[in-house]
A = this chain, B = another copy of it.
Amino acid sequence: MTVSLVGAGPGDPGLVTVRGLELVRGCDVLVYDRLVADELVEEAPADALRVAREPLSQETINELLVAYGRAGLEVVRLKGGDPFVFGRGGEEALALAEAGVPFEVVPGVSSLAAVPAAAGIPLTHRGLSSRVTVLAGHDATLDYRRLAETPGTLVVFMGLGRLDEIARGLVSNGKDPQTPAAVIASGTLPGQQIVTAPLAHVAEAAAGLESPALVVVGEVVSLQPVLRSAAAIPAIDRASGTLAASSPAR
């Protein structure tokens, strides 16, 4: 194998997969997103080439993956969350496919469910929600009338900057203004912040939170106070989730 597109999980380094960590530990080149935990970047071999994604364009990243892959190097493209859920992993995979470079996709824990879970919110729950709608806050084609009618749980990636517009759009198209809503910033990380409020007031309540943040709208959010307060420790105990605790002998 030459290039592996690996999901790093939602933030907590303990939520990387066993297979993903193994690949990081054996790579020649690590290309990593800004939101990937430092602990994971440090797991690459000392002599591995480390490439931060952020200063580069998507096209440059694609070209680098193809070039390193053609050179026969073991390349790990470590992406926040899951590579194929708003991760543009498909674009990188397509570039590799078109260049004839063999690649592997190693799915990761997506923020989609993990971030609400760590905050005490299940996406589906018998009697409350049996459907999930997932969209990106920067989606230019949001059809609020249809979204307001859609039952179940709504999850918005990258929705903080446009939260006021989204909440107003839903309410003005008939969504109950009392629908429970949550904004979770830095989910699964020690700095995690959670704000819950009725939909009509959630944008105001979330003022001051910073990206990355996930927005959840739906009756499942009503479980949050119960599920959250019952856990004796944070839903994800990062201290005991450090990689050191389960590192293979080297």
Contact = CB atoms under 8 A, between A and B. Distances in A.
What class of interface size applies to chain A in its complex with B?
A: 35 or more
A232 to B, nearest CB: 3
A125 interface: yes
A137 to B, nearest CB: 10
A21 interface: yes
A104 B9 contact: no
A17 interface: yes
A97 B125 CA distance: 15
A85 interface: yes
A108 interface: yes
Contacts of A18: 13-18, 21, 241, 243, 246
B84 A22 contact: no
A118 B107 contact: yes
Given A9-B17, A149-B146, A227-B90, A113 B135 contact: no
Interface of A: 1, 7, 9-10, 12-19, 21-22, 25, 82-91, 93-94, 96-98, 100-110, 112-114, 116-118, 120-126, 130-136, 139, 141, 143, 146, 149-152, 188, 220, 223, 226-227, 229-233, 235-237, 240-241, 243, 245-249
